[in-house]
Chains A and B, each alone.
Chain A
């Protein structure tokens, strides 16, 4: 069930690219503030998902049985459409693909937290009709990494989303699971997307 997360992305504007690049301005660095510097990643990331706004053609590769040693993958093709909410501080993506292994309808809601400068990504599969635990993280140098702890077939694991290779008309997304606290990761969901419409 969890394996059915996907992502779709692309940079719409060259400007978006510059937004994704590391920003070093901290919103506030009050003297004596206990905010750990290492935690203060680049300030404003509220436009980091602007690239994703629009309509995309999606190719999905999905590992059928994650964390079993199996290397059987299935492929899907479909579309994804993302629209902005709150002037870009949130967005909603609708995702639909078909393949030999069936039909997947999904939705991702992404919310920007202006205090922590982190994004929360909520994925829901229409067959479950409920949001899963959000993955939380942000972009650095054009690459987005998002993490959570969740349960896969009853066992606690870490889940990771990576957004990379973002250009105005294409983007790459991967989901991976780790059963050893992030030492090793098994990728189980890969999407490549090509822009159809802005």
Chain B
């Protein structure tokens, strides 16, 4: 159970990271190749509501993932994975579906992330499932600001309530970064346990 839970969390981080990268990339492709314009687009997307904040990510990506095996245990054992991420547009961008497959020394995993835009709150919820768990876990919820997406929720790790943060950053047309972190002290300190760096392979239409 604990392993599955951890794996799920890790997967979610990865998927989220991939999502960020994709989003940045898509925006860049649609417009110009400069990261600046990507940021501008993200900002304006945020101002207009946020429903296009994940447009950058549509397409296919290579992901390099490292994850901390035992979060919140003072362990520093990280494992590496490499994999592929495909992000599909749903509802003309107001939702998207991320498929993730990755392999590493710690094994093979398959993940899904369904991101939904709430037009009333202007927030996104990121719903993650691993094929191993076969069910969605608690969504992280948040939004993009100045080209950076931050999503939060409260979950249970080894029976205890913790806070979870998922960050999508460094978005360019062809790359992005995802980080998941846990906090056992109400957000005063965070331990990063999932880092994914994604690089675009194909755009949405390719």
For chain B residues 101-146, which have a beta carbon within 8 Å of chain A? 118, 120-121, 123, 125, 141-142
Q: Which partner residue on chain B sits nearest A115 by CB separation? A: B159
Is residue B206 contacting chain A, with contact meaning CB distance below 8 A?
no
Asked if residues A137 and B161 are in contact (CB atoms below 8 Å), the reply is: yes
Q: Are A182 and B160 in contact (CB under 8 A)?
A: no
Contacts of A41 in B (CB 8 A): 160, 184
| With known contacts A36-B70, A37-B73, A136–B157 Cβ distance under 8 A | no
Q: Using known A-B contacts A148-B154, A149-B154, A154-B121, determine if residue A182 contacts B186 with beta carbons closer than 8 Å.
A: yes
* Interface pair B160/A158, CB less than 8 Å apart: no
Q: Is A118 interfacial (CB-CB < 8 Å)?
A: yes
Instruction: Determine the interface band of chain A, counting residues with CB < 8 A from chain B.
Output: 20 to 34
A155 touches B121 (CB 8 A): yes
Please determine whether A182 and B188 come into contact, CB atoms closer than 8 angstroms.
yes
Q: Is the CB of B121 within 8 A of A39?
A: no
Residues of chain A from 102 to 160 with CB closer than 8 A to chain B in the complex: 113, 115-118, 136-137, 145, 147-149, 151, 154-156, 158, 160
Residues of B within 8 A of A36 (CB): 70-75, 157-158
Given contacts A36-B72, A182-B188, contact A116 B161 (CB under 8 A): yes
B62 CB within 8 Å of chain A: no
CA distance A41 to B185 in the complex (A): 11
Asked if residues A39 and B184 are in contact (CB atoms below 8 Å), the reply is yes
CA distance A182 to B182 in the complex (A): 12
Residues in chain A near residue B183, CB distance under 8 A: 182
Residues facing B in A142-198 (CB within 8 A) are 145, 147-149, 151, 154-156, 158, 160, 178, 180-183
- Shortest 6 CB-CB contacts between residues of A and residues of B: A182-B187, A36-B73, A156-B141, A136-B161, A149-B154, A36-B72
Seen from chain A, the residues whose Cβ lies within 8 Å of a Cβ on chain B are 34-39, 41, 113, 115-118, 136-137, 145, 147-149, 151, 154-156, 158, 160, 178, 180-183
What would be 11 A-B contacts, judged by CB atoms less than 8 Å apart?
A36-B158, A39-B158, A39-B162, A116-B159, A137-B186, A147-B163, A151-B121, A154-B118, A158-B152, A181-B165, A182-B163
What is the interface of chain B, defined by CB distance below 8 A to chain A?
2, 70-75, 118, 120-121, 123, 125, 141-142, 150, 152-154, 157-163, 165, 183-188, 191
